[in-house]
């Protein structure tokens, strides 16, 4: 038995890392293949999680479109298989990126079992999020193991005709990662990696903002910027922290806005994982279009205003810890002000108990021993 972990982005590594840690306790061999889909964002996280890729690909070319990215990813993952000394018996990938879709396709073409982590998420709209909804549906067609975070994602797959014996509800591995880090003895005492964050103690509340999805480029981003600007001006005792995604369609638009002139706004580069968790731990709320933030924030009793019209993570919405506000200034500001008046309290994360990785490894081991 040999497993190949195909990883291309920062969220993928965060969610796959605890599975690799669990696998290291066994005798199973594995490769860690870095497609470098988000090369710069991903690079520091290998050290954070004490994981070294065994193979490094290079799927990104400046200015390429999604079709070109997909083509390069398929070709380079295939090249890895053609040249590795011992081929994997299982290829494992997490989420809904181009790396995941390409991994699932190459697995099928080579008659290798494919394990999909975070399977069954659906927005039921191919263009929201784009192209992630399409990517994860392709992965579901191929997967031999569907590792679902919740019963809702399980039901989505059952409704699509996926065989029940291929579906496993294990929780979301992101909870495993944050639990390991946030439960360490020195979590609260660890200094900020980004020294700009030392300013958080000067404010009554901290608000974390992230925004990167393609559907929030252009006019939507302008609306979101105006919303944050209005909130920052109306809440001068609150700090609005916005780590900027390096995509120039996002970064330059934000830096060129009046947010850069406001004393209670910090615009900074991407944060280290520890800093993100420490911010979520103290944040009044998060305003984000990130799936990861939706999953992580509940562990810290932090509500999320979701900058999307729909979400493939409805558990947070139904649990009352996440609120769909889209890119609508009126909805964003109104819900923020509601939270100021009526703070929310919840006692558990609906996305998992921190044991998902161990469950996944046990299932894969059991399948190998049976077959």
Handedness of CA 116, 120, 123, 127 (dihedral sign): positive
Percent of the chain residues past pLDDT 70, beyond the cut: 100
φ and ψ at 124, to 5 degrees? 65, 25
For the cut 90, the answer to whether the pLDDT of residue 314 exceeds it is: yes
H/E run at residue 98: helix 98-109
* Residue-wise pLDDT tens digits, 97-143: 999 999 999 999 999 999 999 999 999 999 888 999 999 999 999 99
For the cut 80, the answer to whether the pLDDT of residue 371 exceeds it is: no
Mean pLDDT of 172-193: 91
DSSP state of 62: T
d(CA 248, CA 243): 13
* Residue-wise pLDDT tens digits, 205-242: 999 999 988 889 899 999 999 999 999 999 999 999 99
Out of 10, 12, 38, 118, the active site residue is 118
What confidence score (pLDDT) does residue 58 get? 93
Out of 214, 238, 296, 313, the active site residue is 214
Residue 362 known to be catalytic: no
What confidence score (pLDDT) does residue 242 get? 98
Residues of the chain with CATH 3.40.50.2000: 2-171+354-370, 195-341
* Residue-wise pLDDT tens digits, 79-96: 999 999 999 999 999 999
Percent of the chain residues past pLDDT 90, beyond the cut: 86
Pair of tokens at residue 126: 């191919």
Q: Which long-range contacts (CB under 8 A, 24 or more apart) does 132-136 make?
A: 132/95, 132/96, 132/97, 133/96, 133/312, 134/101, 135/96, 135/97, 135/98, 135/100, 135/101, 136/95, 136/96, 136/100, 136/101, 136/312
Residue 245 known to be catalytic: yes
Compute the mean pLDDT over every residue in the chain, rounded to the nearest whole number.
95
H/E run at residue 243: strand 238-243
Specify the CATH number of the domain 195-341: 3.40.50.2000
Least confident of 30-44, 108-122, 255-269, 323-337: 30-44
Pair of tokens at residue 369: 């021993």
For the cut 90, the answer to whether the pLDDT of residue 186 exceeds it is: no
Q: Which of 240, 255, 186, 220 is nearest to 328 (CA)?
A: 220
Which band of pLDDT confidence, cut at 50, 70 and 90, is reported for residue 160?
very high
Out of 12, 31, 72, 96, the active site residue is 96
Which band of pLDDT confidence, cut at 50, 70 and 90, is reported for residue 351?
very high
What are the Cα distances from residue 250, in Å, to 240, 257, 355? 17, 11, 35
More confident residue, 344 or 167: 167
What confidence score (pLDDT) does residue 302 get? 96
What confidence score (pLDDT) does residue 89 get? 97
Q: Per-residue b/e over 274-296, b at no fewer than 16 CB within 10 Å? A: bbbbbbbbebbbbbbbbbbbbbb
* Residue-wise pLDDT tens digits, 58-73: 999 988 999 999 999 9
Residue 132 known to be catalytic: yes
Pair of tokens at residue 288: 């984000």
Contact 139, 160 (CB under 8 A): no
d(CA 103, CA 139): 8
What are the Cα distances from residue 191, in Å, to 188, 195, 266, 308, 357? 8, 9, 18, 33, 29
For the cut 90, the answer to whether the pLDDT of residue 346 exceeds it is: no
Q: What is the DSSP string of 113-162?
A: EEEEETTT---S-TTTTTTHHHHHHHHHHH-SEEEESSHHHHHHHHHTT-
d(CA 247, CA 255): 12
For the cut 90, the answer to whether the pLDDT of residue 149 exceeds it is: yes
* Residue-wise pLDDT tens digits, 255-281: 999 999 999 999 999 999 999 999 999
Q: Which of 271, 287, 276, 135 is nearest to 216 (CA)?
A: 287
**Other Cβ atoms closer than 10 A to 165:** 6
Which band of pLDDT confidence, cut at 50, 70 and 90, is reported for residue 11?
very high
Out of 38, 72, 116, 212, the active site residue is 212
Out of 245, 275, 313, 315, the active site residue is 245
Which fold, 2-171+354-370?
A: Rossmann fold (3.40.50)
Pair of tokens at residue 121: 């998420």
Least confident of 198-212, 245-259, 262-276, 296-310: 245-259
Out of 132, 215, 238, 315, the active site residue is 132
What confidence score (pLDDT) does residue 348 get? 86
Give the 3-state secondary structure of residue 267. strand
In the β-sheet with 2-7, what is the strand arrangement from edge to edge?
A: 55-56, 29-34, 2-7, 90-94, 113-117, 145-148, 167-169
Which band of pLDDT confidence, cut at 50, 70 and 90, is reported for residue 345?
confident
Least confident of 47-51, 108-112, 325-329, 355-359: 47-51
Contact 239, 268 (CB under 8 A): no
Residue 96 known to be catalytic: yes
Q: What is the DSSP string of 173-229?
A: HHHHHHHHHHTSTTTTTSPPSSGGGGGGGGSSEEEEEE---GGGSTHHHHHHHHHHH
């Amino acid at each position: 038995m040999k497993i190949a972990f195909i990883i291309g982005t920062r969220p993928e590594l965060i969610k796959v890392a605890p599975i690799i840690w669990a696998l290291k306790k066994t005798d199973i061999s594995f490769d860690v293949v870095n497609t470098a889909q988000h090369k710069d964002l991903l690079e520091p996280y290998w050290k954070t999680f004490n994981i070294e890729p065994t193979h490094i690909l290079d799927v990104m070319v400046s200015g390429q479109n999604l079709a070109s990215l997909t083509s390069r990813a398929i070709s380079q993952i295939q090249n890895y298989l053609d040249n590795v000394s011992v081929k994997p018996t299982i290829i494992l990938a997490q989420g809904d990126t181009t790396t995941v879709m390409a991994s699932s396709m190459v697995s099928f073409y080579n008659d290798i079992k494919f394990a999909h982590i975070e399977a069954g998420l659906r927005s039921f709209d191919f263009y929201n999020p784009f192209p992630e909804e399409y990517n994860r549906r392709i992965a579901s067609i191929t997967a031999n193991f569907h590792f679902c975070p919740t019963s809702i994602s399980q039901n989505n797959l059952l409704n699509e005709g996926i065989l029940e014996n291929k579906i496993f509800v294990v929780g979301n591995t992101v909870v495993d990662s944050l639990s390991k880090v946030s439960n360490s003895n020195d979590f609260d005492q660890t200094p900020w990696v980004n020294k700009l964050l030392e300013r958080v103690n000067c404010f009554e509340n901290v608000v974390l903002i992230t925004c990167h999805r393609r559907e929030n480029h252009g006019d939507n981003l302008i609306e979101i910027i105006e919303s944050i600007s209005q909130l920052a001006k109306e809440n001068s005792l609150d700090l609005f922290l916005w780590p900027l995604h390096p995509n120039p369609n996002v970064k330059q638009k934000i830096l060129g806005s009046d947010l850069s002139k406001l004393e209670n706004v910090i615009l900074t580069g991407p944060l280290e994982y520890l800093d993100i968790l420490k911010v979520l731990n103290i944040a009044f709320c998060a305003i984000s279009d990130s799936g990861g933030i939706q999953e992580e924030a509940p562990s810290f009793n932090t509500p999320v205003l979701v900058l999307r019209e729909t979400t493939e993570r409805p558990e947070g919405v139904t649990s009352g810890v996440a609120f769909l506000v889209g890119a609508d200034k009126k909805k964003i500001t109104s819900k923020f002000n509601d939270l100021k008046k009526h703070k929310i309290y919840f006692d558990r994360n609906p996305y998992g108990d921190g044991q998902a990785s161990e469950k996944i490894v046990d299932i894969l081991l059991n399948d190998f021993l049976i077959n």
